[in-house]
Amino acid sequence: MPERIKHAPLDIKKVKPPKAEIHLIKNQCKGCGYCIEFCPKKVLEESEEINARGVHPPKIVDEDKCILCSFCSVVCPDFAIFVLEKKQEETKK
């Protein structure tokens, strides 16, 4: 349907997308960058810091953008990243 959308959806506030909690095990990361590359929402990027394995582990840019697809933990060869859903009480804060 070709109509132009000019107004914000009225029920946008009613939708409560689940909030994510991204856990990085920085010293386990070997800096392959798969998680950064494959994240559909571009939540991660390479950090400046150097970990125990002498590489740059990823850092979280915007945790709110994460939609909990967990693709990062699927592609991580070193099991260095996983995502949990934040509990409802926590999001309400």
Partner 1 sequence: MCGAFDWKISSFFREGDLEMAEKKEHESKGEAVQPRIGVYVCQCGLNIAGSVDCEEVAKFASTLPDVVLAQYNRYTCSDQGQAGIKNDIKEHKLNRVVVASCSPRLHEPTFRKACEEAGLNKYLFEMANIREQCSWVHLYDRASATEKAKDLVKMAVAKARLLKPAVEIEVPITRKALVIGGGVAGIQAALDLADTGYKVFLVEKEPSIGGMMARIDKTFPTMDCSICILAPKMSDVGHHPNIELLANSEVTEVRGYIGNFHVKVNKKPRYVTKDCSACGECAKVCSIVVPNEFDVGLAIRHAIYTPFAQAVPATYLIDMNSCLNKNGVIVCDKCMKACERKAIQYEMQPETVELEVGTIIVATGADVFDPSTLPNYGYGKYPNVITSLEFERLINAGGPSGGRLLRPSDGEIPKRVAFIQCVGSRSDRNGRLYCSNVCCMNTIKDSLLIKEHWPETEIYVFYIDIRAYGKGFEDLYKRARKEGVVFIRGLPSEIKENRKTRDLWLAGENTLCQELYRMNFDLVVLSVGLESRKDSEVIQRLLTLSRNQDGFFLEAHPKLRPVDAATGGVFFAGCAEAPKDIKDSVTQASAAAARAGILMAKGKITVEAITPIVFPDKCKACGLCTKVCPYNAITLNKDLKRIEIAEAACGGCGTCAAECPFGALTQGHFTDDQIVSEIDAVTEHDADKKVVAFCCNWCSYAGADFAGVSRMQYPPNVRIIRTMCSGRVAPKFVERAFARGVAAVLVAGCHLGDCHYINANYQTQKRVERLWKKMEQSGLCKERLQLFWASAAEGERFASKIREMKTLVESVKPEEIEKAKKVFEKALGGA
* List of residues contacting partner 1 (CB under 8 A): 1-12, 15, 17-18, 38, 40, 67-69, 71
For residue 50, the minimal CB distance to partner 1 (Å) is 29
**Please, which residue, 61 or 69, has the CB nearer to partner 1?**
69
Closest Cα to residue 23, out of 73, 65, 71, 77? 73
Inter-residue contact 86 to 78 (CB < 8 Å): no
For residue 5, the minimal CB distance to partner 1 (Å) is 3
CA distances from 85 to 46, 50, 52, 66, 92 (A): 23, 28, 28, 10, 13
For residue 81, the minimal CB distance to partner 1 (Å) is 14
